[in-house]
Amino acid sequence: MFDIISIGSATRDVLMQSDAFEHAKAGLKVEVKKLILATGGGGTNYAVTFARQGLKTACIGVIGSDPNGAEILREMEGEGINVDMFQKHNDDMTAYSVILVYPNAERTILSYKGEGQHFSAAQIDFSKLQTRWLFLDSLGGHYDLFEKLVRHAVANGIKIACNPGGKELAHGLEKLKPLLAQMDIVLMNKEEEEQLSGDLKKYVKGILSISDGPRGVTVFDGEKTYTAGIPDSPVVERTGAGDAYGAGFVSQILLNDEARMTNDEKITKAIQFGTANASSAVTQFGAKAGILKSGDWGPWPLIEVRITKNE
């Protein structure tokens, strides 16, 4: 029995840093000052936080039969994450991202979806999804898989956390409503929330967390609203910051699920650790290098969480 199974995107990333990216023109040769090879994708990023927080974790993604896919599996296994249910698809290559990092720590991401588009419900042995929680990331837009995973979870008493990808959001709010109604935790950024153009608080059964980059986070639990900023931290580059916040938030809800704490205390701690995890992530290159380990919140202060009762 797993504590959580993370299902979603898995990519091979190459990060390049140069002072010249912002002013580069076609036909020029640009000197790259720093080159980092890493792995990314929300499914694997979340899984690493879960595992480093001591949760028994499995991850399911789609890779090709190539060295990049093998490196993703090697890294996941090195984190103690079960990868037995990963899917391999041979028509394409493992998803790949080239991340151009600017001097101000912002970046441009060139994303090749590759095998990540080929998630198959037929290749998932649902009898092996024995877990307390499911985390659902981008599923390549496969609504049938999304729906089957949610139905399986509901039928088997499995709690669900979700950070839907762009292709899932593209199905629109009307189609997503019955799935959102089964979610225990839904995580989105401000732009994703606006893409659905509806009051999501009405449709999410459990907790809804909306992040707004450096402006902080807002969390709703049906009765109360929780708002917080983020700690000041040095920023090397921002890849994976949203995943680090979301995974940190979810991990603390799981770890304190049965603790003798009030709901206010649980959500406050989840926000505080999520923001600390994100602050740590942006101090290093790549989505995973800065992810915190169990018992280590880094140097980040516990941010103030403001709680208001909904009218």
Instruction: Measure the CA–CA gap between 114 and 93, rounded to whole angstroms.
Output: 5
Q: Half-sphere exposure of residue 46, counting CA atoms within 13 Å on the CB side?
A: 33
Nearest to 60 by CA among 32, 89, 20, 37: 89
Instruction: Measure the CA–CA gap between 73 and 265, rounded to whole angstroms.
Output: 36
**110 strand-pairing partners:** 98
Concatenate the DSSP letters of all residues of 165-227 into one string.
-HHHHTT-HHHHHHHHTT-SEEEEEHHHHHHHTS-GGGT-SSEEEEE-GGG-EEEE-SSEEEE
Concatenate the DSSP letters of all residues of 257-275 into one string.
TTSS--HHHHHHHHHHHHH
DSSP state of 112: E
Task: Give the H/E segment covering residue 137.
Answer: none
DSSP state of 256: T
**pLDDT tens over the chain, length 311 residues:** 999 999 999 999 999 998 877 776 777 788 888 999 999 999 999 999 999 999 999 999 999 999 999 999 999 999 999 999 999 988 889 999 999 998 888 888 999 998 888 888 888 999 999 999 999 999 988 999 999 999 999 999 999 999 998 899 999 999 999 999 999 999 999 999 888 887 888 999 999 999 998 889 999 998 999 999 988 888 888 888 999 999 999 999 999 988 889 999 999 999 999 999 999 999 999 999 999 999 888 898 889 999 999 87
CATH code of the domain made up of 2-10+41-84+118-309 = 3.40.1190.20
Token couple for 278: 């994100």
Token couple for 222: 């049906």
Token couple for 65: 């039969």
pLDDT of residue 198: 77
Rg (CA), the chain: 19
Contact indicator for 179, 136 with CB cutoff of 8 Å: no
Please tell me the total number of residues recorded for the chain in this structure: 311
Contact indicator for 176, 168 with CB cutoff of 8 Å: yes
The amino acid that residue 301 corresponds to is P
Q: Half-sphere exposure of residue 152, counting CA atoms within 13 Å on the CB side?
A: 20
Q: Which residues lie below 8 Å from residue 194, measured CB to CB, with a gap of 6+?
A: none
Q: Give the helix ranges, DSSP H, for 67-139.
A: 67-78
Instruction: Measure the CA–CA gap between 195 and 173, rounded to whole angstroms.
Output: 9
Residue with tokens 């986070």: 217
The amino acid that residue 183 corresponds to is M
Contact indicator for 305, 272 with CB cutoff of 8 Å: yes
pLDDT of residue 22: 73
Q: Half-sphere exposure of residue 39, counting CA atoms within 13 Å on the CB side?
A: 25
The amino acid that residue 297 corresponds to is W
What residue spans define the domains of the chain? Answer: 2-10+41-84+118-309
